Structure 1
Amino acid sequence: YPLRRAKNINTFLAQASKVFPFHIDVISGQEEARLIYQGVAHYIHHDENRLVIDIGGGSTELIIGKHFKHKLLSSRNMGCVSYTKQFFADGIINEKRFNKAQIKAEQELEVIFANYISTGWQSVVGTSGTIKSILAMLSANDPDQKNITLERLLELKTQFLAAKTIDNLLIEGLSPERQVSICGGLAILIAIFQLFDITEMDYSDFSLREGLLHEMQQKLALKDIRTNTIANLSERNTIDKVHAQRVANTADWLFLQVQKEWQLDSLDNHQLLVWAAQLHEVGLGINSSGLHKHSAYVVENSQLPGFTQQQQTLLSCMIRFYRKRIRLEESPTLLSVP
Structure 2
Amino acid sequence: MSSPPAISSETSQSKKRRIAVIEIGTTSIRMAIAEGNEESRVQTLEKLVQTVAIGEDTYTVGRISRNTIETCVGVLKMYQEKLREYRLTDPQNIRVVATSAVREAENTLAFVDRVFIATGWSVNVLDVAELHRVIYQGIRVWRDQLPTLSQDRWVIAEVGGGNTEYLMLQHGEVEVANAVRLGSLRLSALLKTYDAPEGQWPVLLRKHAQRALSGTGIYAERTPAAKLLLLGGEMRLTAEKLLGVESTQEAALITLKDLESFTNRVLSMNVDELVREFHIPLPDAENLGPALVANTELAKELRVSKIHVLPATVRDGLLRELIDQDVWSDELVQQIIRSAIDVGRRFQFDESHAEHVARLSKSLFNQLAPLHGLDRRYELLLVLAALLHEIGLFIGTSAYHKHSMYLITNSELFGIGRKQLIIIGLITRYHRRTSPKSSHTGFINLERDDRVVVIKLAAILRVALALDGARNQRIHDFECTLTPKRLVITIPEISDLSMEQLAIRQIGNLFEETFGLPILLRGQPSLPMRKR
TM-score with structure 2 length normalisation?
0.50
1:291 maps to which residue? 400
Q: Between 204-213 and 296-305, report the one with greater CA deviation.
A: 204-213
- Deviations for 1:73-94, whole angstroms, at most 9, x for unmatched residues? 222121122222222579x983
Q: Does 1:223 align with 2:343?
A: no
Q: In structure 1, how many angstroms separate the alpha carbons of the residues matched to 2:287 and 2:369?
A: 50
Following superposition, the deviation at residue 36 of structure 1 comes to 2.7
* Preserved CA contact (<8 Å) 1:58 1:82: yes
2:104 maps to which residue? 5
Q: What is the one-letter code of the residue matched to 1:238?
A: D
Following superposition, the deviation at residue 125 of structure 1 comes to 2.0
Equivalent positions of 1:125-164 (< 5 A) are: 125-139=229-243, 147-163=253-269
* Preserved CA contact (<8 Å) 2:115 2:121: no
- Deviations for 1:311-337, whole angstroms, at most 9, x for unmatched residues? 2233324544674744465689858x9
Q: 2:340 aligns with which of 230, 233, 237?
A: 233
Q: What is the one-letter code of the residue matched to 2:390?
A: E
- Deviations for 1:110-148, whole angstroms, at most 9, x for unmatched residues? 23346653332353222111211233344569x9xx543
Q: In structure 1, how many angstroms separate the alpha carbons of the residues matched to 2:162 and 2:399?
A: 38
Q: What is the one-letter code of the residue matched to 1:28?
A: D
- Deviations for 1:136-163, whole angstroms, at most 9, x for unmatched residues? 344569x9xx543333333334434433
User: Normalized per residue, which structure has more strand?
Assistant: 2
Q: In structure 2, how many angstroms separate the alpha carbons of the residues matched to 1:295 and 1:137?
A: 52
1:109 maps to which residue? 213
* Preserved CA contact (<8 Å) 2:206 2:293: yes
Following superposition, the deviation at residue 109 of structure 1 comes to 1.5
Following superposition, the deviation at residue 185 of structure 1 comes to 0.5
**Structure 1's 96 and 231: CA in aligned 2 closer, same or farther, altered over 3 A?**
closer
Q: 2:131 aligns with which of 25, 29, 32?
A: 32
Q: Greater relative contact order (Cα 8 A, min sep 6): structure 1 or 2?
A: 1
Q: 2:188 aligns with which of 66, 84, 98?
A: 84
Q: Does 1:198 align with 2:343?
A: no
Q: What is the one-letter code of the residue matched to 1:79?
A: G
* Preserved CA contact (<8 Å) 2:156 2:228: yes
Equivalent positions of 1:299-314 (< 5 A) are: 299-314=408-423
Q: What is the one-letter code of the residue matched to 1:32?
A: L
Q: What is the one-letter code of the residue matched to 2:292?
A: L
Q: What is the one-letter code of the residue matched to 1:205?
A: P
Q: What is the one-letter code of the residue matched to 1:109?
A: L
**Structure 1's 124 and 243: CA in aligned 2 closer, same or farther, altered over 3 A?**
closer
1:180 maps to which residue? 286
Equivalent positions of 1:37-116 (< 5 A) are: 37-41=136-140, 42-43=143-144, 44-46=146-148, 47-88=151-192, 94-113=198-217
The 3-state SS of whatever aligns with 1:201 is strand
Q: Give the alignment's Cα RMSD to 1 decimal.
A: 4.4
The 3-state SS of whatever aligns with 1:134 is helix
Structure 1, unmatched stretches of 5+, are 260-264
Q: In structure 2, how many angstroms separate the alpha carbons of the residues matched to 1:48 and 1:193?
A: 17
- Deviations for 1:241-287, whole angstroms, at most 9, x for unmatched residues? 46678889999999987x7xxxxx86478547745762443322221
Q: In structure 2, how many angstroms separate the alpha carbons of the residues matched to 1:232 and 1:193?
A: 26
* Preserved CA contact (<8 Å) 1:53 1:63: yes
* Preserved CA contact (<8 Å) 2:158 2:164: yes
1:262 maps to which residue? none
Q: What is the one-letter code of the residue matched to 2:205?
A: A
The 3-state SS of whatever aligns with 2:132 is helix
Structure 2, unmatched stretches of 5+, are 1-25, 27-99, 451-532
Aligned length: 327
**Structure 1's 124 and 294: CA in aligned 2 closer, same or farther, altered over 3 A?**
same
* Preserved CA contact (<8 Å) 1:55 1:128: yes
**Structure 1's 245 and 137: CA in aligned 2 closer, same or farther, altered over 3 A?**
closer
